[in-house]
Amino acid sequence: MKGSFFIHFYKISPIFYLNMFCYSYFCAMSRKKKIRKVFEDLTVTDAGAKGKAIAKAPDGRIVFVKNAVPGDIVTVQTTKQRKAYYEGTAISFSKYSKKRTEPRCEHFGTCGGCKWQHMGYEHQLYFKQKEVENNLIRLGKVEIPPVLPILGSAEHYFYRNKMEFSFSDSKWLTLEQIQSEEVIENRNALGFHIPGMWDKILDLNKCHLQRDPSNAIRNFVKAKAEELELSFFNSRKQEGFLRTLMIRTSSTGDVMVLLQFFHEDATNRKLLLDAITAQFPEITSLLYVVNTKGNDTIYDQEVICHAGKDHIFEEMEGLRFKINAKSFYQTNSEQAYELYKITREFAGLTGNELVYDLYTGTGTIAQFVAKKARKVIGVEAIPEAIEAAKENAQLNNITNVEFYVGDMKKVFNEDFIQQHGIPDIVITDPPRDGMHAAVVQQLVAISAQKIVYVSCNSATQARDLALLDSHYKVTKVQPVDMFPQTHHVENVVLLEKR
């Protein structure tokens, strides 16, 4: 129904279709009495933080526009008003930007996953590069060399190796579905949370983020579950049998599937899992969890192996990484390889160096640089990750790495340095929040020759670079795109002692 509606109108004119959609949205918003202000014919000039397009209101305030692309001329209805800015949605378009491209995915606009699908890839890269430059210069206020051109991803779609889908008996209905005469009796869904709606799930048909057999497995599991009349989860009432589905694909061809149930029902669990095994012989690891908790996280749950092995393998430059259901591994394997090569090159190893790899996760960077270093020491907060790091190092016959577990600001102290030696090079790859001030202070105190700072958030990286600025000069900056179709950007910075 939705598909035919879309195609029918799209053939007439994309502008007509989009304006129709925007008008319906406007009417719906009016009914909800949420109207604030309407600004006509604003030119969208930029794409900023969190991927929102930016225009300027007549009163000089910035307007963050949800569904626009730089170059569009739009009428915006505001949804939020603050001292310095508005937030809003484009309710009609008088001109489309040349930077636009056709979104590939039928779920674009409803799904929160790939917000930049309507912008050409070269323009996505341009705005990511600009975001990194702006953050380092404006937030960090540090002197930087010219930023190297961002390294784009070879794959623009189907680049993720891990996806997690949720079951729900409260499918998200599109505006067209609500306004149509159609009676939708089956409200089962298997897909993603609608942004900002914790209890509503978008039912996916085809997701463009993970390669086959991901879509085939998800659609089969949904159809089979319905055939067996199994109940889909209701997060408000906290009832239902099926909770989540995780699929991991890998560079070695291994495929992991994990089903999460809310309670045990051995007969139906077995029926569903056996059907999956029979349909997809390529699944090398079929796992399940019975999680009776209020939330979906499996980190404190027992993972049970139904068929195959309890792990899969990833491979990079001859190194093999054993990954279980709870292990972290970079989600874009091909670009992770590029990111690690840049990191190793920035470190400029000769074979004699003592290297610290802070926030090492499962020790992938540590193992990746080990053959070019004298010794590598990895530090990480999660004990299971460190166990996996040790196991992987052993599997890969790497003997010059050591791993230690603990909260960085506590572990990475004077005693630790005394025990393990002053590093020649520090590689640091913290989470989105960046490094704790105490960790930055410690870096200044130990004064390694070089620091390679890998970051998934250039705003917090900029803050940390400012704290290091009195002792370290930024000599190289290389953004890397790990997540096409989103605004996220990874950035590698080389710091050398002043």
Catalytic residues: 456
Residue 430: CB minimum distance to ligand SAH, A:
6
Q: Is 364 among the residues that bind ligand SAH (CB under 6 A)?
A: yes
Q: How far is the CB of 381 from ligand SAH (least distance, A)?
A: 3
Sheet holding 189-194, edge to edge: 197-203, 189-194, 162-168, 242-249, 255-261, 285-290, 304-308
* Number of amino acids touching ligand SAH (CB under 6 A): 16
Part of the chain binding ligand SAH (CB under 6 A), chosen from 65-73, 245-253, 315-323, 378-386: 378-386
What's the closest the beta carbon of residue 301 comes to ligand SAH, in angstroms?
18
194, 382, 398, 466: residue in contact with ligand SAH (rule CB under 6 A): 382
CB 207 within 8 A of CB 214: yes
Q: Does 330 bind ligand SAH (CB under 6 A)?
A: yes
Please report how close the Cβ of residue 243 comes to ligand SAH at its closest, in angstroms.
24
Beta carbons within 8 Å of 200's beta carbon, 6+ residues apart:
168, 170, 171, 172, 193, 194
Q: Give whichever of 106 and 345 is closer to ligand SAH, judged by the CB atom.
A: 345
Q: Does residue 431 belong to the site contacting ligand SAH (CB under 6 A)?
A: yes
For residue 106, count CB atoms less than 10 angstroms from its CB and return exposed for 0-12, middle for 13-18, buried for 19 or more.
middle
- Find tokens 């484009």 and name the residue: 90
Pick the stretch among 143-151, 241-249, 262-270, 424-432 that binds ligand SAH (CB under 6 A). Answer: 424-432
One of 72, 429, 481, 490 touching ligand SAH (CB under 6 A): 429
> Which span sits near ligand SAH by CB under 6 A: 20-28, 267-275, 287-295, 379-387?
379-387
Q: 254 vs 357, which CB is nearer to ligand SAH?
A: 357
Q: Between 2-12 and 14-31, two packed helices, what is the crossing angle to 10 degrees?
A: 120
In 3-state terms the chain splits into helix, strand, coil percentages (rounded to 5) of 30, 30, 40
Using the rule CB under 6 A, is 360 a contact of ligand SAH? yes
Stretches 114-122, 162-170, 214-222, 354-362: which one binds ligand SAH (CB under 6 A)?
A: 354-362
Q: Which stretch binds ligand SAH (CB under 6 A): 3-11, 309-317, 346-354, 360-368?
A: 360-368
First to last CA, the chain: 64
- C-beta separation of 242 from 232 below 8 A: yes
* CA-CA-CA-CA dihedral for 345, 146, 132, 55, to nearest 10: -160
* Structure tokens, 141: 């206020």
DSSP-derived letter for residue 173 is P
Pairing of strands 255-261, 242-249: antiparallel
CA distance 244 to 258: 8
Determine the residue with CB nearest ligand SAH.
361
Q: Is 361 in the site for ligand SAH (CB under 6 A)?
A: yes
Residue 337 in the binding site for ligand SAH (CB under 6 A): no
From candidates 167, 261, 359, 416, binder to ligand SAH by CB under 6 A: 359
- Cα 321 from Cα 343, distance rounded (Å): 19
CB of 180 to ligand SAH, least distance (A): 45
Does 408 bind ligand SAH (CB under 6 A)? Our answer is yes
Q: Does 254 bind ligand SAH (CB under 6 A)?
A: no
C-alpha separations of 25 from 7, 36, 76, 111, 410 in Å = 19, 14, 12, 16, 51
Residues that bind ligand SAH (CB under 6 A): 328, 330, 359-361, 364-365, 380-382, 385, 407-408, 429-431
